[in-house]
C-alpha cells in the first residue's frame, strides 16, 4: 500500500501550478505588505504605501486624526 501526501496526489492529477500567471512582486510597503504590479501606491517622504494602507499610515506615522465636522 502506497500512501501519498494529498498535495502530491493533487499535483500528479492536475500538474504543477503555472508560476507565470502570478502577479509580479515589486516590493514591500511601509507596513510590510507585498506590492504587486498594478497595485495603487502613494509615495510620501520616500516611503511607499499601498493605497489601502493610507489612512493607517497617516494615523501611525504622521499623527493624523480623523473627525466628523460638526
Q: Which residues pair with 56 in a beta bridge?
A: none
Q: Which CATH superfamily is domain 24-70 in?
A: YqaI domain (3.30.40.30)
pLDDT at residue 64 in the model: 96
Contact of 57 with 38, CB cutoff 8 Å: no
Half-sphere exposure of 19 (CA within 13 A, CB side): 2
The cell for 18 is 503555472
Identify the CA nearest to 30 among candidates 14, 20, 41, 40. 41
Residue range 2-13, pLDDT digits in tens:
677 888 888 888
Residue range 14-63, pLDDT digits in tens:
877 666 667 788 999 989 999 999 999 999 988 999 999 999 999 999 99
Amino acid at each position: 500500500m502506497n500512501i501519498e501526501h494529498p498535495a502530491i496526489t493533487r499535483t500528479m492529477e492536475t500538474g504543477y501550478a503555472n508560476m507565470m500567471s502570478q502577479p509580479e512582486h515589486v516590493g514591500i510597503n511601509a507596513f510590510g505588505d507585498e506590492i504587486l504590479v498594478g497595485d495603487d501606491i502613494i509615495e510620501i517622504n520616500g516611503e511607499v504605501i499601498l493605497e489601502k494602507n493610507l489612512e493607517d499610515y497617516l494615523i501611525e506615522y504622521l499623527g493624523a486624526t480623523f473627525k466628523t465636522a460638526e
